[in-house]
Structure formats: C-alpha cells, structure tokens
C-alpha cells in the first residue's frame, strides 16, 4: 500500500492562498480605477495584459537561472524547476498575447500586426515551444536536462529584446507605463495602485504554481523510479 | 572504411599537442571541408534545393520586375536560412555515422576548439552557398550588385550569427533520433533577429542607401554575432560533455 501524501507543503499552500486573495483584491482595484482619458473602460484589460506579460518574462528569466544552476551543480531538481518555469511562462505569455490581440482589435483596428513588440513576443513564444518539444523528444534524463538547459539559456537572450523592442524601434505598441529601466511612472496614482496589486498577485501566483509544478514532477519521478 | 579517419586531425597536428587550440581549429575545419568536397552530396543538394526554391519563388512572386526587386532581400535570406538548416546537419553528421564523435570528444584539452572548428566549417559552407545565392538572386530577382563590398559584408555578418547557432544545435542534437525535425524548430526562432537585421541591411543597400544609413543594422548584427558566438562556445562543452 502506498502512503497517501499531503497535497502540498505549507509554504506552497500559503502562497496559493495569498495569491488568490490578492487576485480578488486586484480585480476590485482594476474595476474601481478611473477609466483612461483616451480609451475609456477599454484600458482596464491592461490589468490583465501587463501582469501576464510580466510573469511570462519572469518565468523565462527563472528558467535561465535554473538552467545555469543545473549546468553548474547538475542536480535533477534544478532541471525540473527550469521545465516548470517554462511551462508556466508559456501559459502566461500566451495569455498576454491573447489579451493583447483583444486589446489591439478596438484600438488599432486589427488583431495582429507585424510590429516589433508583437513579432519579438511571438518569437519568444516559439523559442520556448521548441524547448518543450525538445524535452519530449529526448528520453535519457541526463541528456534531456543538459540539452534543455542549453536551450533555456540561449532562449533567454530574446527576453530583453522583447522587453526593449518598444524603445529601440519606436513601434505602434505603447512604451512601458512603469518603466523598469528608468523608474519613471506615466499614469494616474489609482491606476498605478491597481496595476501594482495585480502585478504582485500574478507574481505570487507564479511562485505558487512553480512550487506546485516542481512538487508534482518530483513525485511523478519518484513513482516512475519505484515502478 | 572510415571516412573521417582518412583525413586525420590529431596525426597532423600531433607534433604540437593540446596546448594551443588554434591550429587544431583550422585542421578540424579543413578536414571537414575536404570531406565535404570529396563527398559533394551535401553541398550539391543544398545548391540544387536553392535553385529550385528560387525558381518557385520567382514564379509565385513574379513576373513583374518591381515585385521581384522588392522581394529580393527577403528571398535571399529566407533561402539562405533554409539551405543553412539543410547544411547544419553536415557539421556532425559524418562524425555520428562513422562513430568518431567520441574520439573527437576524448581528445585531450578543452572542448571549445571542437565548437570553433565546426563553426568555421559551417561558416565556410554557408559563405560558399551565400555567394552562389547572391549571384542567382541578382540574375533572377534583379538584386543590384553595385554595392558589392557592402553586400558581402552584410552576408558575412549574417552567416556568422547563423552558423554560430546552427553549429551549436547540430552538436547538441547530433545523436538524437528525429534531429532533422527538431533542428529547424529550435534553430529558426533564435536566428530570426539575425535574419531580420540582415534583410533590412540588404534591402537598404538594394535601394541604394548610403552605407552610413545601413550601419545601424550592421551594428545590431555585430552585437548578435558576438553574443551568439560567445554564449554558444561557452555552453558547448557543458552541453556535450558525456
């Protein structure tokens, strides 16, 4: 008989709880924030679009760190976490792409246009889809970990390109309202608050999902080795 | 008979062992080029594929001269990228077929030189193909060759970035089943920035813009080349080591 395991550890449970609570608070703030001067209520999609894109970038950055750490210390756990980061990153970057398209249709008149931010983001998405395909193609766990770590590191070069694309190529997509490189804020206080709460909620949810996915992989691996 | 051992790296440079990587890099590239020209299959297939592709593209986009001229830079680089993905497998194909990859990896000293040797080999192949391609696009798509030194420089920078990535992935996937499918899938998203910058530079030159206006794209290409070559050569030993 196999011992029934607890569904997760305490830290993960707390993170999930905190993330979901903040998400609800963020939702309230997002609806309570004043409408945009030009776009009106339409701009509220920003409170979903920006945090998803942020978590996408954050996840790929975390995949970079875990991949580099794997190549240094060669611990299977690090490889699992890198894979988990990429999976979560793809989900959130996909969400950012979809919400971006929904936002683009009423403001720019089209769902998709070949401008730098959209193109670099789509490329970023393709790079990490390749990462997952590569993982599924290799059976030997050692080789899989090494190869995917290399792809995880190389692929991360595209993250700063995608982030900076709106500045380098003065594109159709607007520039950052909360600029990480200069620290300038270009929006109303209530909107900043709503955005920050949502960013925090999404980031905490990312950590929670990462830990959950890591646990799941670990137990899956244990079951396989026991069988 | 083992093809790869007919032209040996270690026996010729054996007089000066492991200490200096540079001669070995050239010998490895030289050996692979010799084998490639003796075999001919890879290069010929790539050039023939390119010729067919250009004909199809010409039929699809033409026959108006203005349309073809507009498409020429894009056609040049897309064809080169496709041909490159055909040639990328050549970097480690023979080593795996003949089982000499392990011998190569067991050679004393650091592993970076293997990467640089293969990189040089890929670069030479790509440059040869690119030259043929340049002439063919000039003929079929009216790409003006008047600014040929600047065009050659663009091609040179573009192929460096492409070869850096393709050599790395070819090595990484050398022993995998289904590498022919995986290679383009991993390769293309990463080389898009290189291809984009190269297309823009080529388009600028084709329109007769002065070199100063194209220099921005060259700078971008240089940055990508430097980043890709550095990162790939650092990762190569870590990712390949048995």
SS (H, E, C) A63-130: HHHHHHHHHHHCCHHHHHHHHHHHHHHHHHHHHHHHHHHHHHHHHHCCCCCCCHHHHHHHHHHHHHHH
Q: A120-163 pLDDT, tens per residue?
A: 899 899 999 999 988 988 888 888 899 899 999 999 988 888 88
Q: With a threshold of 0.90, tell me whether the complex ipTM lies above it.
A: no
Instruction: Enter the pTM of the model.
Output: 0.84
Question: Residue A1 — pLDDT band, cuts 50, 70, 90?
Answer: very low
Name the DSSP class of B108: S
Q: A23-79 pLDDT, tens per residue?
A: 999 999 888 888 887 787 888 888 999 999 999 999 999 999 999 999 999 998 999
Question: Looking at CA atoms only, how far is residue A187 from chain B in angstroms?
Answer: 32
CB-CB under 8 Å, B178 with A154: no
CA–CA distance, B242 with B227 (Å, rounded to integer): 25
Give residue limits of the domains in chain A: 10-222
Rounded percentage of chain A residues whose pLDDT exceeds 70:
94
* pLDDT value for B222: 92
Instruction: Please give the structure tokens belonging to residue B12.
Output: 């010729």
* pLDDT value for A3: 53
Q: A185-210 pLDDT, tens per residue?
A: 777 778 888 899 999 999 999 999 99
CA–CA distance, A104 with B85 (Å, rounded to integer): 35
CA–CA distance, B96 with B205 (Å, rounded to integer): 41
Of B177, B178, B185, the CB nearest to A130: B185
> Looking at beta carbons, which residues of chain B come within 8 Å of A126?
188-189
Q: Is A216 on the interface with B (CB under 8 A)?
A: no
> Looking at beta carbons, which residues of chain A come within 8 Å of B178?
137
The residue of B174, B235, B237, B241 whose CB has the most chain A CBs within 10 angstroms, and thus the best one to mutate to test that interface, is B235
* pLDDT value for B231: 92
Q: Could you state, in chain order, the average pLDDT of each consecutive group of 10 residues for chain B (242 residues)? A: 50 46 81 83 84 90 85 91 87 81 78 88 92 90 85 94 93 82 87 89 87 86 92 87 58
């Amino acid at each position: 008989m196999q011992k029934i395991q607890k569904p997760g550890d305490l830290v993960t449970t707390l993170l999930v709880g905190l993330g979901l609570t903040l998400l609800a608070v963020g939702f309230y703030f997002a609806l309570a924030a004043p409408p945009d001067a030009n776009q009106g209520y339409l701009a509220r999609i920003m409170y979903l679009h920006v945090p998803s894109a942020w978590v996408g970038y954050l996840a790929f950055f975390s995949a970079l760190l875990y991949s580099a750490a794997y190549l240094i210390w060669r611990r299977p756990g690090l490889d699992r976490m890198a894979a988990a980061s990429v999976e979560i990153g793809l989900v959130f970057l996909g969400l950012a792409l979809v919400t971006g398209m929904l936002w683009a249709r009423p403001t720019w008149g089209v769902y998709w246009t070949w401008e730098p931010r959209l193109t670099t983001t789509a490329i970023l998405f393709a790079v990490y889809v390749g990462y997952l395909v590569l993982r599924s193609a290799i059976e030997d766990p050692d080789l899989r970990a090494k190869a995917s770590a290399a792809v995880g590191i190389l692929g991360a070069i595209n993250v700063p390109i995608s982030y900076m694309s709106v500045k380098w190529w003065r594109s159709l997509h607007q520039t950052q309202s909360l600029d990480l490189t200069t620290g300038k804020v270009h929006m109303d206080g209530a909107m900043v608050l709503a955005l920050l709460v949502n960013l925090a909620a999404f980031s905490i949810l990312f950590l929670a999902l990462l830990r959950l996915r890591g646990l799941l992989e670990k137990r899956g691996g244990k079951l396989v080795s026991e069988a | 008979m083992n093809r790869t051992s007919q032209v040996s790296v270690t026996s010729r440079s054996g007089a000066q062992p492991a200490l200096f990587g540079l001669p070995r890099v050239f010998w490895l590239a030289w050996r692979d080029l010799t084998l490639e020209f003796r075999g001919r299959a890879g290069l010929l297939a790539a050039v023939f594929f390119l010729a067919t592709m250009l004909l199809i593209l010409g039929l699809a986009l033409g026959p108006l001269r203005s349309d073809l001229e507009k498409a020429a830079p894009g056609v040049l680089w897309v064809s080169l990228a496709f041909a490159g993905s055909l040639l990328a497998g050549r970097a480690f194909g023979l080593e795996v077929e003949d089982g000499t990859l392990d011998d190569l990896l067991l050679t004393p000293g650091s592993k970076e030189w293997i990467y640089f040797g293969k990189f040089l080999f890929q670069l030479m192949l790509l440059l040869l193909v690119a030259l043929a391609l340049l002439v063919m696009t000039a003929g079929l798509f009216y790409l003006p060759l008047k600014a040929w030194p600047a065009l050659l420089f663009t091609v040179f920078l573009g192929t460096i970035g492409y070869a850096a990535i393709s050599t790395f992935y070819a090595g990484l996937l050398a022993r995998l089943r289904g590498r022919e499918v995986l290679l383009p899938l991993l390769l293309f998203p990463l080389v898009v920035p290189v291809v984009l910058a190269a297309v823009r530079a080529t388009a600028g030159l084709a329109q007769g813009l002065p070199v100063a206006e194209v220099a921005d794209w060259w700078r971008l290409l240089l940055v990508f080349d430097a980043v890709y070559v550095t990162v790939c050569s650092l990762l190569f030993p870590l990712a390949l080591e048995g």
